[in-house]
Homo-oligomer: A and B are copies of this chain.
Amino acid sequence: MNLIALLTDFGTDDNFVGVMKGVIYNINPEAKIVDLCHHKKPQNVREAMFLLSYSYKYFPEKTIFAVVVDPGVGSNRKILVVKTKKYFFVAPDNGVLSFLSKNEIEKIINVKEEKYFLKPLSNTFHGRDIFSPVSAYISKGERIENFGNEIKNIKSIKLPEPIIRKNSLIGEVIYIDRFGNLITNIDRKTFEGFVKNHKFEIQIKNQKIKRISSSYTESKNKKPIAIFNSFDKIEISIYQTDTSKYIRAKEGTKIKILIS
Query: Which positions in A face B, CB cutoff 8 Å?
Result: 1, 3, 5, 7, 10-19, 21-23, 25-26, 29, 32-40, 42-43, 51-52, 54-56, 58-60, 63, 71-75, 120, 122-125, 128-129, 177-179, 214-217, 227-230, 232, 235, 239-240
Contact = CB atoms under 8 A, between A and B. Distances in A.
Nearest to A129: B230
Given A71-B216, A216-B124, A227-B123, A37 B25 contact: no
Given A5-B18, A42-B178, A215-B73, A37 B23 contact: no
A43 B240 contact: yes
B74 A10 contact: no
Contacts of A40: 13
B72 A11 contact: no
Contact of A21 (B18, B34, B42): B34
Contacts of A19: 36, 54-55, 58
A19 B179 CA distance: 17
Q: Which among A7, A51, A235 has the greatest number of chain B C-beta atoms within 10 A?
A: A51
B29 A12 contact: no
Nearest to A40: B13
A235 B124 CA distance: 10
Contacts of A39: 13-15
A54 B14 CA distance: 11
B240 A71 contact: yes
A131 to B, nearest CB: 13
Contacts of A51: 14-15
A229 B125 contact: yes
A156 to B, nearest CB: 20
Contacts of A34: 18, 21-22, 25, 33
